[in-house]
Chains A and B, each alone.
Chain A
Amino acid sequence: MTIAASTQLICFLVLAAVVAIGGLGVVLLSNIVYSAFLLGGVFMAVAGLYLLLNASFVAAAQVLVYVGAVNVLILFAIMLVNKREDLAPIPGLQTRRLLSGGVCAGLFALLVRVALTTPWAVPGPQAVGEGSTVRIGEHLFTDYLLPFELASVLLLMAMIGAIVLARRDVQATDLGTGQAADQGLIEKSRTPLLVDQPPS
């Protein structure tokens, strides 16, 4: 085995181990902040796997979108509601855990079966390498145009929805509780602090 091939194998094993163990850690750790940081590590390892598959553009996009945007957003949300208190105990936690564990095991068995029974074409098609950026662009503007546009419309809808939910002055009542929305919180007319005060 040449040095290049063995390096590739070692890289693959390390990355795969990071993805598997990190993924388990994301689900099983009780500290949500650790879970979120581990998720970033898992995303990075997946990007590394893409690199091993000669897809450098996809790897860079994975880092930019998943680590740089999605994971940062998750961390942001966690830290803005930074409460260091134990959550209220959930009734029947043990049963719930067993149930979700069963569902996950079933999914895992299904995936393993699919992976084992699918006739994989080995070796795969010739890697495009550096030309992949051009190839991805061509596909996005020809045969994948409709899914691409639909995804962008979906994202636009999600964005408008988020703005409507965040700006409570759009609705008279709070969507969650049904009570009258507190309009005062949103745009307070500012009164200067130092003028108009009686001299003491």
Chain B
Amino acid sequence: MVTPLATTTTALVSPGLDLERSFSQALEGLGLAPDVAHLIWLPLPMLLVLVAAVVGVLVTVWLERKISAAVQQRIGPEYAGALGVLQPLADGLKLLVKEDIIPARADSLLFTLGPVLVVVPVILSWLIVPFGQNLLVSNVGVGIFLWISLSSIQPIGLLMSGYASNNKYSLLGGLRAAAQSISYEIPLALAVLAIVMMSNSLSTIDIVNQQTGAGLLSWNIWRQPVGFLIFWICALAECERLPFDLPEAEEELVAGYQTEYAGMKFALFYLGSYINLVLSALLVSVLYLGGWGFPIPVEWLAGWMGQSVDAPLVQVITGTVGIVMTVLKAYLLVFFAILLRWTTPRVRIDQLLNLGWKFLLPLALVNLLVTAALKLAFPVAFGG
């Protein structure tokens, strides 16, 4: 097979911590062929990432409810579990058992397929999110480019559900979503390209490794401040978050392309948008905030304590710190996104398209050119 779907294992992992090998050996001890053991191992990392994505969504929904309440000086959910932490679960359960309605004049096939096409690419993109040196589903060579191309499938699902609903608000919402998505994809890709140019690789692992030299100071945000802003604005626009939530602008379009949806299909849209938000935040932290890197390099800390970096205990601690740092950075960005949603007004559609095509696109091009020039002039600091 071409796509290596298992966790990549390099020589850096000490043998005792290589989960794939111990798992395979345990199964082979039970009398299974190595091929079969590998086949049983394959779905496990993917399942783990899927569960992580869904749990991430639940946490984000709870944060959204609590922070919006705080912004508006309300209390927010408080009866479902301590501080209302079980509220998202209750929401999910409600959507799960709700009646699934397909409008009589809607195109039922496309109506069902639309939400699926929106969610699947977003979940697939989790393939490339690294939580540590060896903690990702697949270190594919095209890495970040895979995410860009997968996220371009989403507008088709939105157009499909907008069209199939047989409702003018849905169609308008779908068209707006597609227009917004293809306009902001270009500056987004150009901002990513500047990063890729500095790290000489599309792989997310290499991009993070290139930022780990001097801890906090070597993060890409200092070298790409403009790129960071462009990426963040475009990521918010791709996620259809306020101030860019025009496709579902309540006052104009009822709820845009999701107007006719109920039950599980609506839940898929809901899930998709929140998974996308968490994914975007994770990728911002990978591309600009040093990924799993601790503000002070872990190697220095281990050196001060007189420990070897390759010792098993140190590796476990390093891995844990990596996961915690990635999630922490991502949720800090999610917090900013939620705060933005509840404090900023919505832009108009012409303002949105003007911002994308006439401001962000030229700015991203200039950023790319400046990065190329700086890379030629100062190869030490900008990854020669």
> What residues make up the interface of A, taking CB atoms closer than 8 Å to B?
2-4, 7-8, 33, 37, 40, 44, 51-54, 56-57, 60-61, 63-64, 67-69, 71-72, 75-76, 79-80, 82, 129-133
B156 touches A64 (CB 8 A): no
What would 11 more interface pairs be, CB under 8 Å, given A54-B2, A67-B156, A130-B140?
A: A3-B35, A37-B110, A57-B141, A60-B148, A63-B150, A67-B153, A72-B159, A75-B178, A131-B141, A132-B141, A133-B202
Q: Mark B30-67, 1 if CB is under 8 A from A, else 0.
A: 00000110010000000000000000000000000000
* Chain B nearest Cβ from A154, distance in angstroms: 19
On chain A, the residues within 8 Å of B142 by CB distance are 56-57, 60, 133
- Distance between Cα atoms of A50 and B35 in the complex (Å): 25
Residue B145 at the A interface, CB < 8 A? yes
B141 touches A129 (CB 8 A): yes
* Chain B nearest Cβ from A5, distance in angstroms: 9
Residue B331 at the A interface, CB < 8 A? no
* Chain B nearest Cβ from A44, distance in angstroms: 8
On chain A, the residues within 8 Å of B162 by CB distance are 79
Per a CB cutoff under 8 Å, which of B2, B178, B182 touches A56? Answer: B2
B156 touches A40 (CB 8 A): yes
21 contacts between A and B (CB under 8 A): A2-B35, A3-B35, A33-B163, A54-B2, A56-B3, A56-B140, A56-B146, A57-B142, A60-B142, A60-B148, A61-B145, A64-B149, A68-B182, A72-B159, A72-B178, A72-B182, A76-B179, A79-B159, A79-B163, A82-B163, A82-B171
Residue B185 at the A interface, CB < 8 A? yes
* Chain B nearest Cβ from A17, distance in angstroms: 19
Q: Which residue of A lies closest to B3 (CB)?
A: A51
B2 touches A51 (CB 8 A): yes
- Distance between Cα atoms of A69 and B183 in the complex (Å): 11
Chain B at the A interface: SS class: helix
- Distance between Cα atoms of A8 and B145 in the complex (Å): 24
- Distance between Cα atoms of A2 and B38 in the complex (Å): 12
Task: Name the 4 nearest CB pairs between A and B, nearest first.
Answer: A68-B152, A130-B141, A64-B149, A63-B149
Residue B88 at the A interface, CB < 8 A? no
* Chain A nearest Cβ from B199, distance in angstroms: 13
Q: How large is the interface on B (under 10, 10 to 19, 20 to 34, 35 or more residues)?
A: 20 to 34
* Chain B nearest Cβ from A197, distance in angstroms: 24
- Distance between Cα atoms of A51 and B124 in the complex (Å): 15
B146 touches A60 (CB 8 A): yes
Residue B237 at the A interface, CB < 8 A? no
Q: Mark B174-187, 1 if CB is under 8 A from A, else 0.
A: 11001100100100
> What residues make up the interface of B, taking CB atoms closer than 8 Å to A?
1-3, 35-36, 39, 110, 140-142, 145-146, 148-150, 152-153, 155-156, 159-160, 162-163, 171, 174-175, 178-179, 182, 185, 202
Q: Which residue of B lies closest to A78 (CB)?
A: B163
* Chain B nearest Cβ from A59, distance in angstroms: 8
Q: Which residue of B lies closest to A68 (CB)?
A: B152
Q: Which residue of B lies closest to A63 (CB)?
A: B149
A67 touches B1 (CB 8 A): no
- Distance between Cα atoms of A76 and B159 in the complex (Å): 8
On chain B, the residues within 8 Å of A60 by CB distance are 142, 145-146, 148-149
B175 touches A61 (CB 8 A): no
A69 touches B2 (CB 8 A): no
A72 touches B155 (CB 8 A): yes
- Distance between Cα atoms of A82 and B171 in the complex (Å): 10
On chain A, the residues within 8 Å of B171 by CB distance are 79, 82
* Chain B nearest Cβ from A194, distance in angstroms: 18
On chain A, the residues within 8 Å of B163 by CB distance are 33, 79, 82
* Chain A nearest Cβ from B108, distance in angstroms: 13
Per a CB cutoff under 8 Å, which of A51, A52, A133 touches B141? Answer: A133
B152 touches A63 (CB 8 A): yes
* Chain A nearest Cβ from B71, distance in angstroms: 32
Q: Which residue of B lies closest to A127 (CB)?
A: B2
Q: Which residue of A lies closest to B160 (CB)?
A: A37
Among A3, A51, A130, residue most surrounded by chain B Cβ atoms (within 10 Å): A130
On chain B, the residues within 8 Å of A79 by CB distance are 159, 162-163, 171, 174-175
A68 touches B153 (CB 8 A): yes
On chain A, the residues within 8 Å of B3 by CB distance are 51, 56
Q: Which residue of B lies closest to A75 (CB)?
A: B159
* Chain B nearest Cβ from A80, distance in angstroms: 7
A69 touches B141 (CB 8 A): no
